[in-house]
Structure 1
Amino acid sequence: MNIIHAQYPEMAGLQSSALAIEMNFRKHVDQFIQIINRSPEFSGSHWLTITNINCEPGEISICDSAFDDLPTIETMAICSLIDPPGMHVKVRVLDVMQ
């Protein structure tokens, strides 16, 4: 993440993916990109990209090439990235190629 952040210092996010386990992300109000491991507690190797670029306030987009369903713990970690108006987060799953 540090290499990407060094190339794009104006972009928020790019925090350590280990923060997802503890839901300890810094919340974002600006545009961000965050990469997390979909199943870190099981040493998973599937990664998600989460962003609020081109989203409405309180909305985030997920890029997941193997999307089937998000477990509650992953949903909570993803939602911990923003401080939405009214306590609701709209999650959009974007079509991506494998």
Structure 2
Amino acid sequence: MARYLIAQGVPLFSNRIETASPAFGRAVTLTDPGTVWIISYGVVADDIAQGRLKVLDIDLASTSGAVGIMSRAEEVPSVATRTFAKGLGDLCKESDLDHG
């Protein structure tokens, strides 16, 4: 995301916090109304629906990309792996229908 912001001419804030914790990001953002949180829509969908957070009109299309599961070519995926991959694929298709 930093590269995207720099490419758009947005300077990186010296007081920025980078975290992978939804709980921490939510706590900081809900406490400080001047905070901008860049996170996946699904993480904050309920907060948006409840009016606690709002979406900024910023085109982030260039930041999206394919997500996949990698394995070695010679590896035969287990039943659990195949089941997980199918479930993940189904969720992605469902999400595309909801937000596409």
> Is TM-score (shorter-chain normalized) higher than 0.5?
no
Name the one with the larger helix percent: 2
Name the one with the larger strand percent: 1
Q: Which has the higher contact order (CA 8 A, sep 6+)?
A: 1
Tell me which structure has the larger Cα radius of gyration: 2
- Compute the TM-score of the two structures, normalised by the length of structure 1: 0.27
